[in-house]
Structure 1
Amino acid sequence: MNFIKIIFLFNFTNSNEKKTIRKEIRDLSPEEWQTYKRAFLNLKKHGILDDISEMHTQLNKYAHNTPLFFPWHRALLIHFETLLKEINHNQDLSVPYWDWTLDYLDPLKSKIFSEDYWNLDPSKCFELEYPNNHCLKRAEDIDPFYNKEQINRLLNKKSKYDEFREYMELVPHAVVHFNVGGKEGDMSFMHSPNDPIFWHHHSYCDYLWFKKQKLDLKNNFVEDKSKKIGLDSVLKPFGMKVKDMMDLNKLNIVYKEFKPTKIMMLSNEKSVVKEPARISEEYAKRHGYNLQKVREIEEFLINGKNKQKKGFLFRILQFLFCINDN
C-alpha cells in the first residue's frame, strides 16, 4: 500500500457545507449516472481502489464482526465520496445506494448489472492489482436476496444497537456479498471494495442503519471498556470518532427516499417467492461468523421467529425417543 498517498487522501474531512445527497441508482438520470461512473473509474485509474481494498483487508477484524462495523463503514463512505469530489473537482458527487430488496428475486435483472451500469463484459478486463493482478470476478448466477418485508421485520424488531448490527451484518449484508461474489469473486472476500457494487451496497446498508436510528436507536451504541469500544473510539485510519458518525444531519448527508413504480411492485408481487440463499459454512468461517447465530438470524428473517433453544428435558426425550431436531 502506498501509505503516504492513502494517509494524504484520507486526511480530507467532510467539511463541505453543501449537503451530500445520496439517491437510489434508479433515481439518477442517465447523465447523473455517467458522471458518477466516470468519476469512479477515474479513482480506479489513480490506484485508489486497490489501496482501499488493501486497507479494508488489513483492518478486517477491527471493522467487521464488531460494534464498529456501521460507524467505520459510514466513515469509509464519507471519505470515498470526498475522494470522488476532490479528484474529479465536482462537489455534487455522492455514492448512490442500491436498494437490492427491489431486485431480491432475480438480482441479475437489476439495472445495476446492465451494460450501462456495472455489467462485466467477458471481452474486457476490469483490471485490479490487489491482492494480485486479476480481472474482477463475480458469480455467474446470483441467488435471491432478502425482500422488503423481511428487512422491515428486522428494522421493526425491538433491539439495542449491537443486536441490530449483528443481525444486519451477519445475514442481509453478508448475503449480498456472498451471492454476488460466489466462491471466487471479489465480493466474497475482504478485498470486496474492488467491486463497484460494494459501494452501492454499503450505501444502502448505511441507509438502513440511518432508518433504524430514526425508528428507535437514535445515538445508541456500545460502551465496552474491556474492549475499549465506545462513542469515543477512534476510527482508523480516518482519525474521527464513533460519535462523529452518529448523526447524518451533522455530516450534511441526506438519503433521498426512492418510491418504486406500481409496475415494479406488481412484478415482485406476482413472482413466485423464493427463499434467500443460506450463508455457506465456508463463507461464515472465512469471515469469523458464528454459524449457529447466522442460522438463528436467517430463521428470524424468513419465518419471523428465532429458533428456540432446546431444554435439558427435551434433549433427554430426544435421546430416548429419537425425536428429530426439526
Structure 2
Amino acid sequence: MYDRKNQRNLTRTEKRRLVGAILELKRSGRYDDFVLLHREFYVSDGEDRPRAAHMTPSFFPWHRQYLLEFEKALRAVDPAVSVPYWDWTSDNTPGASLWAEDLLGGNGRPGDRQVMTGPFAYATGGWTINDGVSEQPFLTRNFGRPSSPVTLPGKDDVARALKDPVYDAEPWNSVSGTGFRNRIEGWGIRGSRGVSNHNQVHRWVGGSMSGAGSPNDPVFWFHHAFIDLLWVRWQKAHPRSGYRPGARTGGSGGDRERVFGLDEPMPPFGVAPSALLDHTRLYRYV
C-alpha cells in the first residue's frame, strides 16, 4: 500500500525523486514504450476494431491499469515514488505549483510552443519527443489555446458528472448522452454539450498533450491520477451502481461488439474491468 498525493503537497525531496525517476525511464527507453502503447490503443469509435482505452466503458479501468504499469516502472527505479494527482478544478492557472521549475516546467514559448523551463525542456538534453507524432523533437504546451480560448473545467462540471448514478449507457461510445463515464471523459455531443472535463484538460494544456501521443507530456500522469480519483469518488457516491455493461453486449450493432464487459480481459494487459474496481489494496489518495 502506498499513497498518491496531491501534487501541491509534494515536498522538495518528493519532487526531485519523482522527476529523477521519470527522467531515468526516459533515458532507458521505457518511457517511450508507454507513449507508444497509448497511441496503439487510442481507438476511436469510428474504427472497426475493439476499443478498450477511449470512447468506451473501460476508459476508467484501462487507464487505472495503465497508471499502475507506469507506477510499477517508476517504483522499480525508486520505490519511494508514486504518481501524484493534479486537481485542475483548484490548481487552474499557469502559476499553479505543478508548472514550477522544480516539477513540470511551464508553458510553451510564443511561436513554436516549445517548453523552455523545468526538467523536461528539450534544451536541457533530457527530454526528446521520439514517437513520430510530429517532426518537433521538443515538448510543447499552449495553455488555454489563446487563438481559440479554452478554460479548465470547474468544480461544478465535476459535480454534475458525479451526480449521474449510471456508470455508462448505450451506445457505449463518444456520443453516449448520459452516464458518468462520458460525462468525465468529456466527448462533445453535437447539439447537446461541448467538450468537457478530461478532454477539456487535454485541450487546455495543448501542444504535446493533444491527441494519442499525450503521455509525451508528463502532466498526463498527474491528470489521469485525478481522473482515477474521480472514479473513486463516484463509486463512493453510488455504491449500488456498478460498471456497465455487465457482460458482452452482443447483438448486431457495431459499437456493442467492440466494448469490454465487466469480466472481459482488456488488451494489452489481459486484465478485466472486474479486477480493477477496488484500488484500496494497492494505493490510497491523500
Q: Fold conserved (TM > 0.5)?
A: yes
Q: Do the aligned partners of 2:144 and 2:203 also contact (CA within 8 Å) in 1?
A: no
2:31 is matched with: 49
C-alpha separation in 1, matches of 2:19 and 2:220: 14
Q: Structure 1 residue 67 and structure 2 residue 57: aligned?
A: yes
Tell whether the 8 Å contact from 1:128 to 1:135 is kept in structure 2 after alignment. yes
Stretch moving more, 137-146 or 90-99 = 137-146
Alignment of 1:98 onto 2:98:
no
Which residue of the partner structure matches residue 244 of structure 2? 221
Partner of 1:79 in structure 2?
A: 69
Note the C-alpha offset of 1:91. Answer: 2.5
Residue aligned with 1:235, SS: coil
Shift of residue 140 of structure 1? Answer: 5.0
One-letter amino acid matched to 1:248? H
CA RMSD, Structure 1 to Structure 2 (Å): 1.8
Identity in percent: 33
SS of 2:220 mapped into structure 1: helix
1:138 alignment counterpart: 141
Equivalent in the alignment of 2:189: none
Q: Is the 8 A contact 2:88 2:152 kept in 1?
A: yes
Q: Is the 8 A contact 1:20 1:93 kept in 2?
A: no
The corresponding residue for 2:234 is: 212
Contact 1:57 1:191 in 2 (8 A): yes
CA distance in 1, matches of 2:238, 2:140: 39
1:115 corresponds to: 101
2: distance between equivalents of 1:31 and 1:219?
A: 39
2:144 touches 2:151 (CA, 8 Å); kept in 1?
no
Q: Residue type matched to 1:254 in 2? A: R
Q: How many residues align?
A: 230
Tell me the distance in 1 between the aligned counterparts of 2:184 and 2:41.
Answer: 20
**Is the Cα contact below 8 Å between 2:167 and 2:242 reproduced in 1?**
no
Contact 2:94 2:143 survives alignment (8 Å)? no
Q: TM-score, normalised by structure 1?
A: 0.66
Q: Secondary structure at the match of 2:94?
A: helix
Larger Rg belongs to = 1
SS of the residue corresponding to residue 238 of structure 2 reads: helix
Closer/same/farther in 2, CA of residues 127 and 95 from structure 1, 3 Å limit: same
Aligned to 2:176: none
Flag structure 2 segments of 5+ consecutive residues without an equivalent: 44-50, 107-114, 170-178, 187-195, 251-256
Q: Counterpart of 2:191?
A: none
Alpha-carbon contact 2:60-2:231 (below 8 Å) kept: yes
Q: Does 1:201 align with 2:228?
A: no
Question: What is the CA-CA distance between 1:158 and the residue it aligns to?
Answer: 3.1
Which residue, out of 204, 214, 223, partners 1:179? 204
Residues 96, 203 of structure 1: 8 Å contact kept: yes
- Could you tell me which amino acid in structure 2 is paired with residue 122 of structure 1? M
TM-score, with structure 2 as normaliser: 0.75
